[in-house]
Amino acid sequence: MSKIETALRLASEGFHVFPCVPNAKTPAVTAWQEKATTDQSIIRKWWESDNDFNIGIYTGSFNGGEQSLIVVDVDVKDGKPGQKTYKEIRNKLGLNTTRTNITTTKGRHFLYLSNTKVKSSAGLLGEGIDIRSYGGYVIGPSSIIDGIEYTSDWTDLMKAPQSLVDACGKPREKGNVEQAIDDLDTDGAVERTIDWLINGAPEATEHKNGDHDTFTVACRVKDFGISQGLAVDLMYDHWNTAKAFPPWQYADLATKVSNAYQYSVNPLGIANAQADFPEDLSKILPPLTPKQKLYYVKPKDIKTDTDDIHLIEGLLSHNAMTVLYGESNVGKTFAALKFSYCIATGTLFQNRQVEKGAVVYVACESSRSVLDRVVGLKEYYKKSNFDLAVVPCPIDLLNPKNDVDNLINLIADVSSDLGNVKLIVIDTLSRAISGGNENSPDDMGAFVKYIDKIRHSMKAHMMVVHHAGKDTAKGARGHSLLRAATDTELEVVRSTGSYSIRVRKQRDMDAGNDISFQLNVVDIGVNQYGKTITTCVMQEQEVSAAEDFNDLPDLTDREQILMDVLEANEDPDNSLEMDKLRPLLKSHLGFFQGKSHRAFCNAVVTTVTKLVTKGSIKFNKKKQTVTRCVTTVTDDVTVH
């Protein structure tokens, strides 16, 4: 059955359904508890607008609200003992056979009808067992996550035995929110709430009582004397991305906070000193920590960051932002995919070290073409799979009600599946701010703000694929604040028969040489007309010294400095050990002005390599020495 057919069938049986984001469990509509429906005309409109919507089933209501569902969620993902626990409670509670849905991770949803509302819970009945009922939802059959479909046996729903109803417990009914204080959201209350969220609040982890822990945090924020609306913002900004695993979507977090404010026993502001001790706040709550105040550092306390590890050695830094731009049809996406492949597999890029990690590639422009190019990578490198997650969906990273939180949640899902995400690619900027004005400081500022939010939330490098401006000499298209916010700027250019990547900006590293590459054609299949389908894969070129530098007889300033230092300090055989050369170059004010020790070492490596290829020096890899010469060119250009 198609998804719309399944949604209509469920509605005809009395299930209240609503759409969820394609390939995800996230509701695609706000206020889904109220919008979940059995109305087939509404359901048709939803799924006709996007037939890839997954199906959400609201468990708090059934058959027009006359009954509700109790779903026993048996979790076996990541070795959880849900199946074993279920067998124990099945015998203990006398659970009878009922409709069963199978999840994409081989878990089970056992669906029961109840005339009594029960509360949703995680782990209350035992490890690996969650209850979805009042206020909750589950994903329905025909929904697809990562190519795997939810299924159902479509048997009759049975009435929940009273033993199950009693074991689950009743939800607390909503009541009026009582206040213990007159003034909410005071400066002191806000400061202490932020301090507690950062330094004292517990973490919340999915499938480990995360719902309950989030509820507890929200209750405590309420106790501090914070209004419900501000509580959502404070938790979202100062707790959610750092302590919720995975982070909550804003709308879902707002629901959790609303529940806490309506169901918690304590009056609002009960932990605020105003409630009982208006004159002495310090006796009630701990003082602010220095982390929340401005501070200074003396030179003697500032140390070199020697632990800086690059994502791609000498090219991309960790947790930074890169703009990869160029004119149309110069190979920008091929280059972005090659970077992605190297990081996803840990493969060297042009003999540069690469930090391996998962990659999320958001193909919001020409997604079908990107998918074909990934097939090309698989064929070219003979790898059936690697740690790359392609998001072939349009996204909005501009407007207030955008896809930022959805994307953060999706990336968190990828991290759970493939490991830590090290690189996120947005291809392209223009499609990510569709309808926006690239030349507007407001629109470009909003885009940069949301990109930074994603980057900092996931602690990953962000690469944005963009177009060149009309005047290519002025760089990427759009307002200049994009370039100001960029750590690394790479321009992809094409001349007759050749391609290259030019480093136009490096915040903390040496720019280095252009990266020449070619596009190798790959056959990826045959279409219905018998024509071979092809794509390309980027392959960076290793250009010989004679080819690359015959027209560059002069040395750069940095190369000349190294030659001068070498000549002034070399041994009688014109040689010098690298361990002696590095500190001499470090002390030379003209060689390197950056702060990063790793960047300095990369500058030394790059300069030595260039001088070797130019025939100015020899490098002995075994002895780790450089020798000054004039005429000899060697192929051994690897420097450690």
Q: Per the structure, how many domains does the chain have?
A: 4
The pLDDT value given to residue 280: 39
Task: Let me know whether 270 and 351 are in one domain.
Answer: no
Mean pLDDT for the stretch of residues 571-578: 88
pTM for this predicted structure:
0.45
Residue 551 has a pLDDT of 42
Distance separating the N- and C-terminal Cα atoms of the chain: 59
**Pair 534, 561 in one domain:** no
Asked whether residue 358 falls in the same domain as residue 446, the answer is: yes
Confidence of residue 498 (pLDDT cuts 50, 70, 90): confident
Q: How confident is the model at residue 560 (pLDDT cuts 50, 70, 90)?
A: confident
Q: What is the pLDDT of residues 95-135, one digit of tens each?
A: 999 999 999 888 999 999 999 888 877 778 888 898 888 87
Contact (CB, 8 A) for 624 and 606: no
For residue 298, with 0-12 CB atoms within 10 Å meaning exposed, 13-18 middle and 19 or more buried, which class applies? exposed
Q: State which of 484, 513, 542 marks the end of a domain.
A: 542
Does residue 620 have a pLDDT over 90? no
The reported pLDDT for the residue numbered 266 is 67
386-417 per-position pLDDT tens digit: 999 999 998 999 876 778 888 998 998 898 88
Rank 185-194, 278-287, 414-423, 508-517 by mean pLDDT and report only the highest.
414-423
Give 434's pLDDT tier (boundaries 50, 70, 90). Answer: confident
Tell me if 639 is assigned to some domain. Answer: no
Burial class (CB in 10 A: 0-12, 13-18, 19+), 239: buried
- In a domain, residue 537? The reply is yes
Statement to judge: residues 431 and 561 lie in one domain: no
Supply 605's token pair. 């490596």
Q: Which of 168, 196, 230 is the endpoint of a domain? A: 168
Please report whether residue 640 resides in a domain.
no
> Does residue 522 sit in the same domain as residue 388?
yes
The domain spanning residue 552 has which CATH number? 1.10.10
Mark whether 484 and 568 lie in a shared domain. no
Determine the structural domain holding residue 212 and report its residue range. Answer: 187-292
Asked if 329 and 475 sit in the same domain, the reply is yes
Q: In this predicted model, what pLDDT tens digit does every residue of 337-359 receive, in sequence order?
A: 999 999 999 999 988 889 999 99
- 467 with 453, same domain: the answer is yes
Counting residues of the chain whose pLDDT is more than 70, the rounded percentage is: 87
Predicted confidence at residue 496, as pLDDT, reads 67
d(CA 145, CA 54): 9
Q: Bigger pLDDT: 160 or 350?
A: 160
State residue 40's pLDDT score: 93
Residue 546 binned pLDDT confidence (cut-offs 50, 70, 90): very low
Q: Which of 522, 542, 562 is the last residue of a domain?
A: 542
CATH number of the domain residue 415 falls in = 3.40.50.300
Residue 299 domain-assigned (yes or no): no
> Is 619 part of a structural domain of the chain?
yes
Cα separation of 484 and 475, whole Å? 12
Question: In angstroms, what CA-CA distances link 628 with 147, 459, 578?
Answer: 59, 43, 13
**Are 454 and 408 a contacting pair, CB within 8 Å?**
yes
Using one digit for the tens of pLDDT, what is the confidence trace for 25-77? 877 876 677 889 999 999 999 999 888 999 999 998 998 877 899 999 998 88
Q: Are residues 406 and 503 in the same domain?
A: yes
Lowest average pLDDT, out of 160-169, 263-272, 330-339, goes to: 263-272
Residue range 499-504: average pLDDT?
A: 91
Same domain, 552 and 492: no
Is there a cis peptide before residue 428, judged by omega within 30 degrees of 0? yes
User: How confident is the model at residue 7, as a pLDDT?
Assistant: 95
Same domain assignment for residues 422 and 314: yes
Looking at the structure, tell me whether residues 433 and 572 fall in a common domain: no
Asked whether residue 565 is domain-assigned, the answer is: yes
The whole-chain average pLDDT of the chain stands at: 83
The pLDDT value recorded for residue 180 is 55
Percent of the chain exceeding pLDDT 90 equals 39
Residue 293 has pLDDT above 80, yes or no: no
Backbone torsion region of residue 12, taken as left when φ is above 0, otherwise alpha when ψ lies between -120 and 50, otherwise beta: alpha
Q: What angle do CA 472, 376, 363 make, to 5 degrees?
A: 55
Confidence of residue 90 (pLDDT cuts 50, 70, 90): very high
Give a yes or no: residue 335 inside a domain.
yes
Short-list 333, 315, 329, 348, CA closest to 515: 315
